[in-house]
A and B are shown apart, each in its own frame.
Chain A
Amino acid sequence: MIRVILRKELLELRRSPVLLLSMISLPATVVVVPVALLAWMVHAAPEQALAFIQEIYGLRSSDPAAAGLAAIVGRNWLPMFLVLPIFLPIMLASQSIGGERERRTLEPLLAAPVSTASIILGKSLAALLPALAITWISAALFCLGIDAVAGQRVLPDAAWIFGVLVLTPLFALFGNAAAVVVSSRVLDSRAAQNLAATTVLPLLALLVVQLAGRIALGPRFYLGLAAGVAAADLALIALAVRLFDRERLLTRWR
């Protein structure tokens, strides 16, 4: 049953060019803007740019200017790739229950002999898989772009590999579960999207603080973050199944 739901969700996604475009636009920006900025800095005044950025972040490096700049930009941009896997599933999962209700397809779905867990898992996988695929492809393109501008291999380093392979699935799961929880309780999918998107805010704040050079996020921080998000994921998934009340979904609209 999970596979049946997943297949239908992916088929619908394939037939929704506007949704696909909006899913791709943010990752494209996240990849293109910093790489282009870096390329411009390296081309215009690499020594001055490196000195300026090293001063902001309090770093010293013996690397050539281009490589030094690339390493700093690349490492500090990692939290942005943690925002993506939260944000992308929210776009899909917030429509999962609320969207079914709006399109009046929820009653036939609930009238079928499908368990709550299968519905939630099927819809969650349909939101997670494309989100992770887009995030991983974007991350790979970002690393290739940074390395090309630096003229040597700078990314991915250990933090990047850990972040992309371990943290992004955990964050994607978090965004999805938050969206499913909200989607099964609010009136429409747009409200669900807006509410669920607020879960991105703490991470965005972290990104801004790091980009401003106020903190430097190290391995210990990322390990702690992984443990915290994994625990939050489990709690949210349990909550999503618990809050999925068939009767309420069919009879209460507010």
Chain B
Amino acid sequence: MSAIEAHGLGKSFGGRPACRDVSFAVERGEVFGFLGPNGAGKTTTLRMLAGLFAPDAGTARVAGCEIAPGRPGGPELRARVGLLTESPGFYDRLTARENLVHFARLQRAKEPVRRSEELLERFALRDHADRPFAELSRGMKQKLAIARALVHDPEVIFLDEPTVGLDPAATREVRNVIAELAAEHATIVLCTHHLDEVERVCSRAAFIAGRLVAVHEIRRETLLRIELAAPFQPDGVRGLCRSLRLDGNTLLIEPGAEVPDIVAALVGAGARIVAVAPHRDPLEDAWLELLAEAGGP
């Protein structure tokens, strides 16, 4: 059974639709990206899935709990999911430890003190655990917020814009934490507008722009990018490629043979090669194409 199944979810505020027709499924252990520009309805969808409020339309099942219009899932759902909110949201005068233990108790964590200590250790926050939250760096605050989302061992983790407003060092720290969680096969929904973040850890991503535009498979295989000095017809090497795309003087190839063999075949066929480099799945292109098809948010 999927960890999340959403069917036609929709929500309006004061008659203005925040999102509509959102349908997707997330498998257990999958890291699923949720992409969209600001105001596209990502946070609204996440809040519905985390049991904060009920949809106006559609249904969903999250960690075995049903969500439907008028039925937001309730405490049972909120106990089974972990939510990293856009802002860390801790009490400034309480220490990092006091904050984490407080939320561990609210989240009904088993052994809240022990579990909090475990997470402080894991996220290298133990040395700062007795400092008031207000005095922590932005990166530490965000790591503490991720620790809170994990403190009750949730079945599904929702991360809403985990690196927004962070400096590059803190961004790297937080991304490493997410990559660690992904490696542990946690079920994660990562909501962001940073495409590279999604490319790095997600297996699939939903594009949302008011409504769900598409779900995109993120390819891990490395493509080969070959820059040519002049236009060239590559028909002679098609047999060595799983796929081949020519875009001006650039060849994008999914190799079906060893790279030196492909390069040798191209040179043998008269191609003048300027550069050969690996090329990852360009999520950005897909995103822009989809947005254009959808007519924007």
**A positions within 8 Å CB-CB of B:** 1, 4-5, 7-8, 11-12, 15-16, 103-115, 246-247, 250-252
Contact = CB atoms under 8 A, between A and B. Distances in A.
Contacts of A110: 52
Q: Would you list the 5 A-B pairs with minimal beta carbon distance, nearest first?
A: A113-B75, A15-B93, A113-B79, A112-B106, A247-B53
Interface of B: 13, 47, 50-54, 72, 74-76, 78-79, 83, 85, 87-94, 98, 102-103, 105-108, 132, 148
A108 B144 CA distance: 13
Nearest to A114: B106
B78 A112 contact: yes
B91 A111 contact: no
Given A108-B83, A108-B89, A112-B106, A12 B94 contact: yes
A7 to B, nearest CB: 8
Given A8-B102, A250-B47, A250-B52, A111 B78 contact: yes
Among B85, B88, B106, which residue has the most Cβ atoms of chain A within 10 A?
B106
B50 A111 contact: yes
A107 B85 contact: yes
Contact of A112 (B53, B54, B107): B107
Contact of A115 (B47, B51, B72, B75): B75
B91 A8 contact: yes
Contact of A11 (B53, B78, B94, B108): B94
A104 B87 contact: yes
B89 A1 contact: no
21 contacts: A8-B91, A12-B91, A16-B93, A104-B88, A104-B89, A105-B90, A107-B83, A107-B87, A108-B103, A111-B51, A111-B85, A113-B75, A113-B76, A113-B78, A113-B106, A113-B108, A246-B53, A247-B54, A250-B53, A251-B13, A252-B13
Nearest to A245: B53
B91 A103 contact: yes
Among B91, B92, B98, which residue has the most Cβ atoms of chain A within 10 A?
B91
A112 B102 CA distance: 11
Given A1-B106, A5-B106, 16 more contacts: A8-B94, A8-B102, A104-B89, A107-B87, A108-B85, A109-B106, A110-B52, A111-B78, A112-B106, A112-B107, A113-B79, A114-B75, A114-B106, A246-B72, A251-B13, A251-B53
Contacts of B107: 112-113
A44 B145 CA distance: 65
Contacts of B76: 113
A5 B91 CA distance: 12
A95 B27 CA distance: 41
B98 to A, nearest CB: 7
A1 B103 CA distance: 11
Among A8, A106, A109, A113, which residue has the most Cβ atoms of chain B within 10 A?
A113
Contacts of B132: 15
A250 to B, nearest CB: 6
A111 to B, nearest CB: 5
Given A8-B91, A113-B107, A108 B75 contact: no
Given A11-B98, A113-B75, A105 B91 contact: yes
Contacts of A246: 52-53, 72
Contacts of B52: 107, 110-111, 246-247, 250
